[in-house]
Structure 1
Amino acid sequence: MTLNPMIFCDFDGTITENDNIVAIMKKFAPPEWEEIKDDILSQRISIKKGVGQFFRLLPAELKEEMTTFILNDAKIREGFGEFVSYTKRNGLDLVVVSGGMDFFVHPLLKGYNLPVYCNEAKFNEEKIRVEWPHTCDEQCSNECGCCKPSILREIGEGHYKIVIGDSITDLQAAKQADLVIARDFLQQKCEELNLPYQSFETFHDVIRILEQNEVKV
């Protein structure tokens, strides 16, 4: 492999077994969140618009209750700790790129010592407001929120780009990746669009795929 690898790993539904934003909505949001979710998945509205609408349904006073709930509810996918150790041992750059919110992403990843790109939830108004520190560059007009393809272009240039993910938020990044490791909705979209991918369920599978593809520095 002539280019040094860089691994871009999704968080919700990938590092964690469940989508944490969906878990929060199911627990705390009024029923109209379901229609917003359907609009996002069908690509009738952008991810940025939909996720912003999600959190505007929630009172800011729920911050502590939501944080406690998600830290107790979220489960890290099997093998993730071993995967992180594997990347560090082999000198592989691993970056977490998440459409999730800082108030749960950072606590759940505490101790892994990884660079993280995610959105920021603000609790200084009546309803929760989302800020987007990693918006789309001039090559992307999809209103991604946390724009994974823009991050790939910004820091992945000159690298062998590996994308690990599970959802619609990973699709545009997968289109510019050299290797896609997918499950669930992203896997379905890769099949629909004839994008090459390899499937995983645990991070033990991811390690095996990296070894089979001779991903090394």
Structure 2
Amino acid sequence: MRCWLLLVLLASPIVSPVAAHAGDANDDPNAVWNQPANWQAQVSLSTSGVINGVINRKPQLGFDVSGRKSDLYFGAHAQTADSNVGTDYEDRLFVGYTQKLDPVALRWQLTYKTYPGTPSQYTDQALDYQVTASKNLLGLNTSLGVEYTNADYTTVRKSYGLNFSLGRSLLKKMYGWLSISHKHNTGSVDYTNTNIGVAYQLTDKIGVSTSINDWHAYASWAEDHPTFSIAINRKL
């Protein structure tokens, strides 16, 4: 699989220790870029999940690796999938840039998606463009973003999205969130995905979370089926 090969290449620097940033970046404009990237990775297992915004009610195994170098970030995500068209995985490669503007921070991100196992009559890859503004308001981590996808999952239809999220620390090691994502698909059905959940960090490397996810399609045939999910993840 193409994306898995790229993912391995991205993950390879993890075997090397991450050097701490040293010196004053103001002394040398290139000092930050001369430092190694900060890498992290984790593996996760959940009772259910979401594939490209649509609820997938089968257990999912996922792997994430990401890196950051100054305001530039990059990484990959891979997870198993069980869709009605035969998709085996959802794989993503992404790169983004964080722009700090008073009073908000902007995040510009480009994501390449591919769906191995999808039958040849369907589209198995897409590019997703996102711009997200974030700010801490009254202790709430708030974000609002827009996105454009050149080929919605398994089709060549373009889609436009609006994403909103709130999150905050509830206890020392507990974090809660609410996210709402609406997608308009040209020539197809629009839908809204709502997710609310909490996460708890058991140890430095192991965390657990639970969430409720609801996918609502704006069509007469669609029925809401909220899904309860439990997940565990381990940092590598």
Q: TM-score range by the shorter chain?
A: under 0.3
Q: Normalising by structure 2, what TM-score?
A: 0.25
Which has the bigger relative contact order, CA under 8 A and spacing at least 6? 1
Q: Normalising by structure 1, what TM-score?
A: 0.27
Higher helix proportion: 1
Which protein has the larger Cα radius of gyration, Structure 1 or Structure 2?
2
